[in-house]
A = this chain, B = another copy of it.
Amino acid sequence: MSPTHAPAGAVRQGSLRELNLALVLGRIAAADRPPSRADLATATGLTRATVSAVVEDLLAGRLVDEADPAPRAGAGRPARGLVLADQGPAGLGLEVNVDYLTVCVVDFAGQVRHRTVYRADLRPVAPADALARLVELAAQARADAARQGLTLAGAALAVPGLVDDTGLVRLAPNLGWHDVAVPALLAEHPALTEQVPGVPALVVDNEANLAALGELHSRPPGPASFLHISGEVGIGAGIVLDGALFRGVRGWSGEIGHLPVHPQGRPCRCGGRGCLEQYAGQEAIVAAAGLARAELPADTATARLAQLADAGDADALRALHDAGTALGVAVAGVVNLLDLDTVVLGGGYAPLAPWLCPPVLAEIAGRVLTAAWSPVTVRPSTLGAEAAAVGAAGSVVRRIVAQPAGWLTRTG
């Protein structure tokens, strides 16, 4: 339906090679099995000669490696498979959340090569101190990456809140942050990564957005368009449309937690009434299940809920069913609006998916006009609890996959 869009800028002579580098590299990244040059030629529509030239550049820049010949039936010279290099540029993923800090490193091929989780209640900690601790963990990660032959090409930080495009955290309510200028605070510390043309040193983004990107680039890759819902204390969503994250006009899309599900219902801290968060947020579910919130650290609440539900606890089952119904009302609205066919439950919702999915699907079936013609899939996230950090690190290497020219000219 949507035609090929021209690049925004001018198409210069050199852009040709730049674009074809990205095209070929993207195919290699998306392929199930290591493709040969001939495979790439037929897949992209380029000639074999051009593919060979492009691949030579990629090999010289160490973004791609030749793999063992893939077994193939029939006669003919065996192909040499091409895979993303596991020794090249890597991404540093950072996450600040209510009760933990996470740092991870993802290599160019998408493998997690380093992971650190530091558990602590971050709410009483000043933003500068939390970031300082994060920098320490990042320095260790960088050293570990260097030991493995990896070069950190950029970093991305996931925050549970609203971030503008300068990296300013306007509001992270559950964390208690307000107008925190992350890049300025980090500038006082030694650089986390190397400087690579085309790769910003640090990107700050919403955790729901980065978790959705993680899902998109996981193996097997997510569909081109889907909604990824991160159910934590707040409820955020990452919206992936046609293979790209949609961030909204100001970068604040995905506030699904404040979709009204009972317009005259419980007041919400956002000022509205009956927001989804009041019925399907972590605190609401825990309260409905009869668990005193103070007894449980936030990070074990969902585990405890899953345990109770698994054991057949009636209160827990009812709480999950009600939460799933509220979530389903909101999700049905989104599906009606955007015509998506896949909804991924991530974050705290992932372990609760067995109990949440049925009521969500029921609401979809009842409310979505087009559900009769084609079904909507609702499934848990394939990534674990630290999806946002992994997605953050992955977004760094993905940017190089999308624009390899910057990295190649760097190594010249």
Chain A residues in the interface with B (C-beta under 8 A): 1-13, 15-16, 19-20, 22-23, 26, 44-46, 162, 165, 170, 224-225, 237, 239, 241-242, 244-256, 258-263, 270-272, 275, 329-330, 332-334, 336-341, 366-370, 373-374, 399, 402-403
Q: 8 A-B Cβ contacts within 8 A?
A: A2-B245, A10-B46, A162-B369, A241-B241, A250-B339, A254-B337, A258-B369, A270-B369
Identical subunits present: 2
Looking across the interface, which residue of chain B has its beta carbon closest to that of A7? B4
CA gap between A81 and B237 in the complex, in Å: 47
Given contacts A237-B337, A263-B262, A332-B272, contact A16 B7 (CB under 8 A): no
**Most chain B CB within a 10 A radius of its CB, from A7, A13, A239, A261:** A7
CA gap between A225 and B383 in the complex, in Å: 31
- Name the distance in Å between A367's Cβ and chain B's nearest Cβ: 4
- Name the distance in Å between A289's Cβ and chain B's nearest Cβ: 22
CA gap between A259 and B260 in the complex, in Å: 10
Looking across the interface, which residue of chain B has its beta carbon closest to that of A263? B329
Cβ-defined contact, B11 with A23, below 8 A: yes
CA gap between A85 and B290 in the complex, in Å: 71
Can you list the 8 inter-chain pairs with the closest CB atoms, starting with the nearest? A248-B339, A272-B367, A10-B45, A253-B339, A255-B336, A259-B333, A252-B339, A11-B19
By a CB distance below 8 angstroms, the chain B residues around A329 are 260, 263
CA gap between A374 and B15 in the complex, in Å: 37
CA gap between A4 and B403 in the complex, in Å: 9
- Could you say which of B165, B242, B250, B402 contacts A370, with CB atoms under 8 Å apart? B250
Cβ-defined contact, A255 with B337, below 8 A: yes
Cβ-defined contact, B334 with A337, below 8 A: yes
CA gap between A7 and B26 in the complex, in Å: 12
By a CB distance below 8 angstroms, the chain B residues around A256 are 336-337
CA gap between A174 and B324 in the complex, in Å: 33
CA gap between A129 and B342 in the complex, in Å: 39
CA gap between A12 and B374 in the complex, in Å: 37
Cβ-defined contact, A337 with B239, below 8 A: yes
**Most chain B CB within a 10 A radius of its CB, from A9, A237, A399:** A9
CA gap between A26 and B330 in the complex, in Å: 39
By a CB distance below 8 angstroms, the chain B residues around A340 are 248-249
By a CB distance below 8 angstroms, the chain B residues around A44 are 9-10
- Could you say which of B7, B248, B341 contacts A6, with CB atoms under 8 Å apart? B7
Given contacts A336-B258, A339-B252, contact A4 B9 (CB under 8 A): yes
- Name the distance in Å between A362's Cβ and chain B's nearest Cβ: 11
Cβ-defined contact, B374 with A250, below 8 A: yes
Cβ-defined contact, B339 with A251, below 8 A: yes
Cβ-defined contact, B253 with A337, below 8 A: yes
Cβ-defined contact, B252 with A370, below 8 A: yes
- Could you say which of B259, B336, B367 contacts A336, with CB atoms under 8 Å apart? B259
